[in-house]
Structure 1
């Protein structure tokens, strides 16, 4: 942490007072903002880049006649002759598309974004915080997109028949070891990171780039905000469960402290669980974003999180009999990235370093310890070459050092892994309407003593001025769960092969896409020699294991979003059809996993009333009943839960005071109070069962956010 503060101090000290200030807006020919565009003075390379709204601000001591250059990948560079020396110059610059893009054919199969990473992603910060029922949580919003399943008793993204462990979360290309707060049994937790950190998200539902690995199903890519030259800002947030204070210095350094105590909220809102100590926590973070020069930048982020809670859990053996489970968590995470452009933007170097450290101290019935500890150290470097004709070549490598330990009463299990990967990928625009991305990723896991090579291919063809079809195929590998490796380090990688066909039409703030897919699982871990099935997700693995498991997932995803038809309105509809089965773990037969729903529907609507400063929103989610294990059933995992329904509403009001503002907000989750059931837990003899319920059937939340700036 001391090194982080020192780096920030050195960066701020390097800034100097400017005599001339240039500011303006960079857009495409349709008037859409272009974020991340390079803006610099020719022959001096003193410059900056545009923010998420296409705005830029450049201070310089240079005077006299000079040429301003604006460039961005996928667009034709533009130059503007200026005479520097005036106090302020406001500019509006338009970049035309590269001629052979014909409106922007992009690789979109399996990747949920509206364009490539240098343009606009499908979901931005405002999409996250204004979606009703999501609680400003990134993962909760992603569950409204096609391909995902709604699972309420555990956190994570369940994508196209895959478990939560098959999805990785990455920040600036670096894997996040613990993206969610530590949870207790049958209670899902929200993500650790504030959506304001990120300029956008790219959510892959399959067939993703060779740059990423160790995920059989999908990756959630989060890119942090770049530096924006802005005024100092102090923000205070408060509600019944949390109070937070953050300060931003000139868009470069942000510090945040947050205290959470759920006791006042639980006193007002009835809970389905008994808490001996309501969850309490303290979080702190610091973010540094700095332009080191016209062609290089540095981002530093560090956070610390501490929490403590005690819940009374049912024994499932006798009615009303409970036992206390205490969970104390300590989490530390930092990620740092460096970016530099060479040779007038033809070469780009990205290098990153991240470190995470997580402790879970778990005490059961005041006597038994079930502690968990994990640590990950990661290094990553990517070199990219931008060629004429919008062709791109890249190559990179990454190294992970992982240490995991579990304490189960008197037994202790531990493993260390040195995971290495190298990858190469090229994106080519072949002719006027065809684009292709070809890549390969090689991995080596020290704990297994094995390696693999995974080819990836994506092709997109433009079939109209605003429409295209895409196809993606590839192999994906993942190291088996730690609970299996503790006992058997001779296992092989688990494998999934993806095939995806996509059609997408994007025009006039409307997006329609339909995607069919087939995913084949191989080399899944199976437990052999067991008698009967144990549905306990927290059980200890004791059986012999091998890689004889297999399975499949196939289905259809449909998405439509319209931000044009209704003035100041925005709505989207998503639907997923899923058919999936697998024979893995301690399954007795090929069956649909308990986390997979055949039908998932989400309806999201938002209405903005600018004159009143009011935003209203509603979200309705539906999921057909998931499978569950019933002791009395004749068919393995043949029984179904009731269908899931949830209607949520939100309302917010913005009050502006000069350059400061106050936001008042309230949300109601599950307005109708639907008694959703997430599963059943049985007694040992199978004669009695207990429902797995949400923490509360209906939640009402209200709060205020006050932002002060000069």
Structure 2
């Protein structure tokens, strides 16, 4: 259950509901924008698309749209969860984030209009995924690059999620939704001259009542509760300029008790309170006929306060003699400030070739207490980059780029070459190749203790084949990633060093068919992943616990026009993931290991659409939605927590075997019924 649950069945409420998606290049450039001058109109273009799934309101085809992604049954309207229906992404049920091609969630970064969205999720809670802090329907373009992405972006070793915000709404409108645990309302006002707009939104979610009705394993003593407000302003400037401002403020609180793994008589307490303010400003304009300028500015203030405790049956503080006190009782309270400025210039050349040059600067300052120890650090990261689109022939295109970065915290430089090549085989199919180096700073928990670390590095090699014809889309991709300078932990003082390495290789399949069956749309994905890492406290090169060798998803959407009702079903299956109990005894040792049972989950969502007040001047578009996640109640096991002495373990599983929702929604000002009926499939 999330604050955006209402939108699960509501693609037609949005101005881009009718949009379809195609694969674009690694910067999100539209297919129609890359046609070489003088190219015959009946000749389909070759575009650079190795490693990228992309969605836009300008694209056509039968692959995937932003609405498709977030209306997959089980996504809960959360963009990150919805992208788990794509190949290459692991089915992780115990935490938030995207785990892509053998990489951790920290190795995937999100960008909004070119700038980094540094804190995309509410603060993490052990064993329970937390939702996104931003509404996915603010975006007209979604580029999910699972490898080999553009030199215009950095600091992500595995993947980049590149989001392009909406310019102006189609019309003024208002909306609200009412679910037992989630309520919200929004307003978008378009100026009379159709050149400016502003919007406001407020969303609140409190799961207390729901958790009282549906039994959960954690005993919640606070929340979970989430409050979010947002505002946007957009204005056209001159003939080609567009200025956009987006701001969001949110806070959350989750407090819970679980049985302690070291003592059946005690409980482990966990309380996290989060607050975040995020602002993004962007401006783009043409400079004459051949130059384009894009600028961005982002600021975020983030506060996370976490309290770990051990209590007895009366909820009084407790300790265990055999366990160090700080493991069971500690506090972290970190305030982070982040700012970024960015500028990109594009020079358009003959034949729709182009050269892009740019620079950006990141400022990050963290201060507070981490596990009862005072911490403070400041980093200034600067980058310059250049990239060029080159059409070698009408059927052969290349993109080459270079990115140079310097971080003041580590006093390190990095140089990242990137290259992609696309070869059009026919009007419906093409081959794509990509290569690149990708660097990333270590996570804060390591930098707090040791600044003498290196940038971690991954080299990507990607090749794929795509075919799109008759509203069907096929994509097959193979890749290889090589990691260097990963974080290792050296006992007995657990000092971190940058000496780890690893690899990931695999094969992925995506097939979508919107043609064969009337009013029915389905897609199938399959992922094979072989990955190992010499990493953290691993005593040897191991498959990481978040990596399953085989993953498959099936998403089916059926619409019944006569009933104005849609039925969405999704099924996800993944092979068991490894788990380890790694302990220190004259070096790191495997005290226990195994493989979890396979992951298997079926989700069902049903929505019914209607117009309650057809005679109103401002027509409404309304409906209700019901659904259940994990319909069959399958027991999921994601891993195990071990006791301090290693003699006992406790399974990490879903808080509840099934989750349910039911609710009502309404949009005023735009009647999207016809769009939904005509373009839902």
Q: Give the TM-score band, short-chain normalised.
A: 0.7 to 0.9
2:281 paired with 1:281: no
SS at match of 1:420: strand
Provide the alpha-carbon RMSD of the alignment. Answer: 2.6
2:638 paired with 1:678: yes
> d(CA) in 2 for partners of 1:320 and 1:132?
39
SS at match of 1:143: helix
Matching of residues 383-402 of structure 1 within 5 Å: 383-402=345-364
String of CA shifts for 1:628-679, please: whole Å, max 9, x gaps.
0147999677510110000001100111244311121112100000000111
Please name the residue that 1:62 is paired with: none
String of CA shifts for 1:117-169, please: whole Å, max 9, x gaps.
96459543421342101111111111010001011111110000001110001
Contact 1:100 1:431 in 2 (8 A): no
Report the CA distance between 1:285 and its aligned residue: 0.3
Query: Which residue, out of 169, 180, 185, partners 1:240?
Result: 180
> d(CA) in 2 for partners of 1:442 and 1:76?
29
String of CA shifts for 1:54-113, please: whole Å, max 9, x gaps.
9xxxxxxxxxxxxxxxx9623589xxxxxxxxxxxxxxxxxxx94389312111111113
Please name the residue that 2:324 is paired with: none
SS at match of 1:99: coil
SS at match of 1:294: coil
Report the CA distance between 1:508 and its aligned residue: 2.1
Matching of residues 353-372 of structure 1 within 5 Å: 353-365=297-309, 368-372=330-334
Query: Which residue, out of 576, 591, 597, partners 1:642?
Result: 597
> d(CA) in 1 for partners of 2:432 and 2:371?
52
Matching of residues 354-503 of structure 1 within 5 Å: 354-365=298-309, 368-503=330-465
Query: Which residue, out of 557, 560, 563, partners 2:514?
Result: 563
2:82 paired with 1:141: yes
> d(CA) in 2 for partners of 1:294 and 1:566?
45
Query: Which residue, out of 628, 633, 644, partners 2:579?
Result: 628
Please name the residue that 1:507 is paired with: 469
Contact 1:73 1:118 in 2 (8 A): no
Please name the residue that 2:127 is paired with: 186
2:663 paired with 1:703: yes
Q: 1:361 to 1:163 in 2, by over 3 A?
A: same
SS at match of 1:128: helix
2:266 paired with 1:321: yes
Please name the residue that 2:545 is paired with: 594
More displaced stretch, 300-309 vs 316-325: 316-325
Matching of residues 155-166 of structure 1 within 5 Å: 155-166=96-107
Report the CA distance between 1:487 and its aligned residue: 2.2
Q: 1:100 to 1:459 in 2, by over 3 A?
A: farther
Contact 2:20 2:58 in 1 (8 A): no
SS at match of 2:624: strand
2:481 paired with 1:519: yes
> d(CA) in 2 for partners of 1:458 and 1:155?
31
String of CA shifts for 1:148-192, please: whole Å, max 9, x gaps.
101111111000000111000111111111100112212111111
Q: 1:382 to 1:369 in 2, by over 3 A?
A: same
Please name the residue that 1:88 is paired with: none
Please name the residue that 1:349 is paired with: 293
- Which blocks of at least 5 consecutive residues in structure 1 are unaligned? 1-24, 26-30, 36-51, 55-70, 78-96, 531-541
Please name the residue that 2:558 is paired with: 607
> d(CA) in 2 for partners of 1:143 and 1:73?
29
Aligned length: 616
String of CA shifts for 1:540-566, please: whole Å, max 9, x gaps.
xx5223221110000100100112222
Query: Which residue, out of 19, 30, 33, partners 1:73?
Result: 33
String of CA shifts for 1:265-306, please: whole Å, max 9, x gaps.
112211121111221222100011221222101111001001
> d(CA) in 2 for partners of 1:259 and 1:182?
16
2:154 paired with 1:154: no
Q: 1:321 to 1:706 in 2, by over 3 A?
A: same
SS at match of 1:73: helix
Please name the residue that 1:4 is paired with: none
2:228 paired with 1:228: no
Query: Which residue, out of 509, 530, 535, partners 1:584?
Result: 535
Please name the residue that 2:160 is paired with: 219
2:210 paired with 1:265: yes
SS at match of 2:570: strand
Report the CA distance between 1:32 and its aligned residue: 8.8
SS at match of 1:470: strand
Q: 1:443 to 1:203 in 2, by over 3 A?
A: same
Contact 1:107 1:460 in 2 (8 A): yes
> d(CA) in 2 for partners of 1:141 and 1:504?
22
Contact 2:582 2:592 in 1 (8 A): no
> d(CA) in 1 for partners of 2:252 and 2:446?
29
Q: 1:206 to 1:34 in 2, by over 3 A?
A: closer
Contact 1:681 1:690 in 2 (8 A): yes
2:90 paired with 1:130: no
Please name the residue that 1:63 is paired with: none
Q: 1:685 to 1:76 in 2, by over 3 A?
A: closer
- Which blocks of at least 5 consecutive residues in structure 2 are unaligned? 1-14, 23-28, 192-196, 310-316, 318-328, 671-681
Matching of residues 298-317 of structure 1 within 5 Å: 298-317=243-262
TM-score by length of 1: 0.83
Report the CA distance between 1:235 and its aligned residue: 0.6
> d(CA) in 1 for partners of 2:620 and 2:345?
42
Please name the residue that 1:59 is paired with: none
Contact 2:361 2:380 in 1 (8 A): yes
SS at match of 1:621: strand
SS at match of 1:511: strand
Report the CA distance between 1:246 and its aligned residue: 0.6
